Structure 1
Amino acid sequence: MKSITIDGSKRESVGKKATKALRNAGEVPCVLYGGDKPVHFSAPELAFSNLVYTPDAHTVVIALGNDKFDAVLQDIQFHPVTDKILHIDFYQLFEDKPIMMEIPVHIIGTSKGVLNGGVLRRNNRKLRVKALPKYLPDYLEADITPLKIGGKLYVTDLPQENFKIMHTENTVVCQVKRARAAIMTEIDEEEELEEGAEAATAEGAEGTAEATEATSSES
């Protein structure tokens, strides 16, 4: 998995006043968990743009002077009005300890159902995966080529090498649903067929009545 380096500085004070001063200076207060003790640090808000504002998954190298920590983003808080980053929690990675992480799903192929007028619905754009850090995938591939209208792709259909997808077997990744236009077309066709059948029945009934009437007249 690709990694992003965040250059930051350790925080000596973690009080409200110090935190407010950091934010006013364009810094984001952060905490790194998972080690012997939490590590408090800060970094410029722009340093997190490639980590936060992207659909891709990344691990992080947190560089604090001579100390470097491998980590993943665990939680993030935004301002409810301005959407500025208020706080970020990271979780430290260790080579011998599995980690769970949300991994994006990439769709590949062209569905037969979509080609026939169906609509692709993506039920889960990300899936939670458990693996050792070195085996964390950049993304999961979902091949929709075989999907017909009404078909579903489950997590069990995705390749899982050196990692485990932490969802139940019946979790749907994506599916091809029948488009409303296709449904309406079928309804119209059925109505036309019904009307045609009714007309044919009526014509047959009229013909039978005429034949009966003609036979009666001859008698």
Structure 2
Amino acid sequence: MKTYQLTAEPRTDLGKKAAKALREENKIPVVLNGGEIVELPYTGTLKAGEKLVEIDAKRGIITTDLMVSNEDVRKLIYTPDIFAIELDLNGEKRNAVLREVQFHPVKDTILHIDLLEVNENKPVVVEVPVKLEGHAEGVKAGGKLTLSMKKIKVKAPYTAIPERVVINIDHLGLGKTLQIGDLHFEGLELMNAKNAVVCAVQLTRAARGAAAKA
């Protein structure tokens, strides 16, 4: 994946009113999930913006509330590309991937961002864009190529996730489909249903006519 540099500040004033005031300053509230899992009761010291969320009676996870500039995330959000995010939090470096973005239902402005903290040893699930490569046999025979899945969910350490998954379609025949279960990529676990159709070569009227004449 490409790398995206992002500067963030800890956010300690929480709640709907505080979030609204933040957006009026052209900033966006962010939550960094996937932090350290600790035993309860927790005896350590939380940093600015950090809070402890209970998993069960014995364990908790540390999440971090942040704020970022609206302008700083535009090229991260409004793009088909995926990124490994290098967070600069008061000089501390943290690695993350984009988990979810909430938009205003009318204005389409960004309301909230969820990030997931990552490291080289922890697999994460990311939607990766699909790139079709080659010239399908079915298209040469008069069929029409359709792409049903523009992105595929993959699971792997973030350092092993590619910018795109490239699928060769040279041998895809007329009327045939390519499903998730037909694919394999070294080091990646595919998380979509095995029978989900990625792409297909559909029969066109012209192709049907040619087949009938034959």
Same fold at TM > 0.5: yes
Q: Which residue of the partner structure matches residue 47 of structure 2?
A: none
Which residue in the other structure is 1:78 paired with? 103
Amino acid at match of 2:133: I
TM-score normalised by structure 2 residue count:
0.81
Tell me the residue number matched to 1:123: 148
Task: Identify the residue that residue 119 of structure 2 maps to in structure 1.
Answer: 94
**Runs of 5+ unmatched residues, structure 2:** 37-61
Alpha-carbon distance in structure 2 between the residues aligned to 1:41 and 1:160? 35
Give the partner amino acid of 1:50. Answer: K
Structure 1: how far apart are the matches of 2:147 and 2:119? Answer: 33
Q: Which residue of structure 2 aligns with residue 134 of structure 1? A: 159
Aligned to 1:206: none
Name the structure with the higher helix share. 1
Answer with 26-35 or 169-178: which moved more: 169-178
Structure 1 unaligned residues grouped into runs of 5+: 191-219
Identify the residue that residue 13 of structure 1 maps to in structure 2. Answer: 13
Q: Which has the higher contact order (CA 8 A, sep 6+)?
A: 2
Using the TM superposition, give the Cα deviation of residue 152 of structure 1 relative to its aligned residue in structure 2, in angstroms. 1.6
Offset, 1:155: 2.5
- State the percentage of identical aligned residues: 37
Q: Which residue of 1 aligns with 2:22?
A: 22
| SS of match in other structure, 1:170 | coil
Q: Which runs of 4+ in 1 moved over 3 A?
A: 156-159, 180-183
- TM-score scaled by length of structure 1: 0.79
Is the CA contact (8 Å cut-off) linking 1:141 and 1:158 kept in structure 2?
Answer: no
Match of residue 111 from structure 1: 136
Structure that is richer in strand per residue: 2
* RMSD, aligned α-carbons: 2.0
Larger radius of gyration: 1
